[in-house]
Chain A
Amino acid sequence: MQDSLADAHARADALQIRPADPAADAAALRRLALWATRYTPLVAPWEEENGADGFFLDITGAAHLLGGEECLLADLRRRLNRFGLPARLAVAGTAGAAWALSRFRREPVTILPCGQEAAALSTLPPAALRLSCATRAALRRLGFRHIGALIDKPRAPFAARFEKELLLRLDQALGRTAEPLRFACAPPVYHSVRYLPEPVVTTDAVAMLAERLMQGLSRALLRDGVGARALRLSLYRVDGEVCMINLGLAMPTRSPAHVGRLVALKLARLAGTIDAGFGFETIDLAVTAAERILPRQTELTAAADGTPEAERCAALVDRLRQRLGPRSVQRLRPAASHLPERAEAPCLTAEETSAWPPPDAAPLRPPVLLQPPEPVAVTALVPEGPPLRFRWRGMLHDVVHAQGPERIADEWWRARNTCGPTRDYYLVENSDGRRFWLYREGLYGRETEAAHWFMHGLFA
């Protein structure tokens, strides 16, 4: 400890020295953790307190898929070895015990039967409890050489003598307290994985496999009366890289064909960024968000294939979004505001749209709104009068007819984001019959000394 570089060289002359790069290490560990999601979706890379050199796999309910814990460990070890990573693996009932066994047992692979944590840990040194340096030093000073000496001792003296850490770590290792883990990616609601005998490289094959996986998932989705709202397709490359593709859907779906089409579109769009390398050996389709699908009566007007109108619309929206980007397709939603630019807002989903007020009673509004309003130079007879002539985008317009003003005042009840002074809107027609929506900002003489004019919309 605390040796200088010269000391180290003096001991081993063949020493190679590299500067530490914790960020790159963490990124590499995270990549490896993502790769390990081929075994189970719940993978938590170790952070600083755990040594930042490994990861936890929660294999509850996943081990039997690979033929049991022994086979899983053997497979994991073989594959890690092929990456050039000699690994130490341990299976235990608690994360703490597995951590201790993987580091402090001589055998590289340990499988601890359930309920034997205390017996297995008792022979290990206190360092196996993931304690801080200070706590370890204090325990050594007090003569605790093994964890066994700590188990089943009266807790009060330890609590008084040490930080909370010691008892917490002990409890976590023995399974008396739950240990929260930070998983690399959000655990899916449903997922289906396929290990391929032969790696695939083509887009078509991936899309077809995604469709197959969705077929499997759709049974579970149908059983629970839900549909997928967000999907994640993980492609595990032969060399350990993982590509993750997230798909968002406009409406919950269970249709394998729809998912297959979306995957094909997305892959076509990402063609430049995804490198299949020597192929993908494992493919996993996960439903990361599921939503209830209410059973519906088929619509009378449904198309020949029996899918209702709304679903076909959602399918179209999904396809366009895969092609053009997630925010490319929007609907308009009315909002309760008198200010034209706040009276409606684009929104992404169909559910957000609420009923529009009837158009007849409302004052005239342009079909095209300019956002932000563009400044206009206006000549008027009197400062608070309608415009007579104005210059906009370099063109001079003579006003033949002006209708207004429609006065729209600031929303004073909003503490922030006020729009400024009162506006007087005029609908004007020029000598060519073109119609414009202009407003004068500020009440002349009361709010402002000079009238400022803006173009806010264009009428048909």
Chain B
Amino acid sequence: MKSPPVPLPAPRRAELVGALRRLLPRMEGVGQQGRALSFGIPALDLCLPQRGLVFGALHEIVPATEGDRPAAIGFLVALLGRMPAQGPVLLVAAPRGWTGSGRPYGRGLHQLGLDPARVLLVAAGGREQALGAMEDALRSGVPAAVAGAVDRLDLRASQRLQLAARETGIPLLLLRQGPRTEASVAMTRWRVGAAPAARDRFGLFARWRWRLQLERCRNGRTGAWVVEFDDAYRFSLAAAMADPALPRRAGAQSLARAG
């Protein structure tokens, strides 16, 4: 005989949810001791477990459309540059993995905060090799971070990568083909689109802007923001009111969340 679920009194319910919240990350192997990369934006960090991008996990970055791929690369490089750990940063890609015939350009990476002297470019012959190389690099425990560009990723491969990243506590950022993505065990999935850049009073480009959509976030909340990236390599929310060029709704939403 099954009794109908008894609605819990409100304080007890909050307590239970809190306990479950604490339990879930431990079940997924992301302990309290895991470090995280904070964006420095309270509204955004609050959505993420441990108030930031968890190290030792797989994070997916998906361009909103094919044309937004450079913006997605920019966001990825900006994140890599903010990783505090010492050591090399691996960029793994199959041939033509980044954008068609393009290749990462050191001076441009430098201007997004990633020191090109730390960068190791790994050219894999195909997708399987790229996945193998990423797993190898993660398991070695040497790099500060690993980033890769793969077109397709099956669930099993994503599990292997997530496991390898968790074991050594090295963040893995995957640039996906987009716009559609298969199921994976990624901790977060960011959909990145280009947004008109902020300009200074002389009309020159001052800060890059990206439309970020946190589409998936385990143990956290999803959300959408327009973020800016300035030349001190800091993230901030684009101020909607200051720039009428911005899409009003996205900015307003982010402000509401911040409040």
Contacts and interface: CB of A to CB of B under 8 A. Distances in A.
Interface of A: 301, 303, 309, 312-313, 315-317, 319-320, 323-325, 327-332, 334, 340, 343-344, 346, 353, 355-356, 359-360, 362, 364-372, 374, 395, 400-401, 403, 427, 429, 432-435, 457-460
A432 B63 CA distance: 14
Given A332-B119, A458-B102, A459-B74, 14 more contacts: A320-B122, A324-B124, A324-B125, A364-B111, A365-B105, A367-B112, A369-B104, A371-B102, A371-B103, A432-B194, A433-B193, A433-B195, A434-B67, A434-B70
B133 A330 contact: no
A330 B123 contact: yes
Given A324-B129, A353-B117, A360-B231, A365 B70 contact: no
Contacts of A366: 70, 105, 108
Interface in B96-134: 98-112, 115-117, 119-125, 129, 132-133
B121 A323 contact: no
Nearest to B70: A458
B256 interface: no
A434 B204 contact: no
Given A458-B70, A459-B74, A330 B203 contact: no
A303 B142 CA distance: 9
Nearest to B109: A367
B151 interface: no
Interface string B67-102: 111110111011000000011100000000011111
A364 B205 contact: yes
B159 interface: no
Contacts of B67: 395, 432, 434
Nearest to B130: A324
B52 interface: no
B239 interface: no
Contacts of A312: 140-142
A-B pairs with lowest CB-CB distance, top 5: A460-B74, A367-B108, A458-B70, A369-B105, A359-B110
A359 B111 contact: yes
Given A309-B86, A367-B109, A435 B140 contact: no
A364 B231 CA distance: 11
Contacts of A301: 86
A365 B120 contact: no
B121 A330 contact: yes
A401 B129 CA distance: 41
A440 B105 CA distance: 20
B143 A316 contact: yes
A222 B116 CA distance: 34
Among A330, A367, A459: residue with most chain B CB under 10 A = A367
Among A330, A366, A458, A460: residue with most chain B CB under 10 A = A460
A272 to B, nearest CB: 15
A369 B111 CA distance: 14
Among A315, A372, A403: residue with most chain B CB under 10 A = A403
Contacts of B116: 332, 334, 344, 356
Given A435-B194, A460-B73, A303 B141 contact: yes
A323 B103 contact: no
B136 A319 contact: yes
B235 interface: no
Contacts of B73: 367-368, 458, 460
A127 B210 CA distance: 85
Contacts of B194: 432-435
Contact of A460 (B70, B115, B136, B203): B70
B154 to A, nearest CB: 20
Contacts of A315: 140, 142
Given A313-B88, A435-B70, A328 B124 contact: yes
A329 B101 contact: no
B208 interface: yes
A262 to B, nearest CB: 12
B30 interface: no
A316 B142 contact: yes
Contacts of B115: 356
19 contacts: A316-B143, A317-B120, A320-B133, A320-B136, A323-B133, A328-B122, A334-B116, A366-B105, A366-B108, A367-B104, A367-B105, A367-B108, A368-B73, A368-B108, A370-B102, A401-B203, A432-B194, A433-B193, A433-B196
A102 B211 CA distance: 83
Nearest to B68: A434
B117 A324 contact: no
Interface string B195-237: 1110100011100111100000000000000000101000000
Given A317-B120, A457-B108, A367 B70 contact: yes
A313 B142 contact: yes
B137 interface: yes
Contacts of A429: 196-197, 205
A366 B98 CA distance: 13
B123 A324 contact: yes
Contacts of B136: 316, 319-320, 323
A369 B108 contact: yes
A340 B103 CA distance: 12
Among B67, B70, B195, B209: residue with most chain A CB under 10 A = B70
Nearest to A358: B110
A460 B107 contact: no
Contacts of A362: 107, 111
Contacts of B105: 340, 344, 365-369, 457
Contacts of A364: 111, 205
Among B67, B115, B125: residue with most chain A CB under 10 A = B67
Contacts of B102: 368-371, 457-458
A320 B231 CA distance: 34
B205 A427 contact: yes
Nearest to A437: B108
Contacts of A433: 71, 193-197, 209, 211
B87 A313 contact: yes
Contacts of B103: 368-369, 371
Nearest to B229: A460
Nearest to A431: B196
B104 A460 contact: no
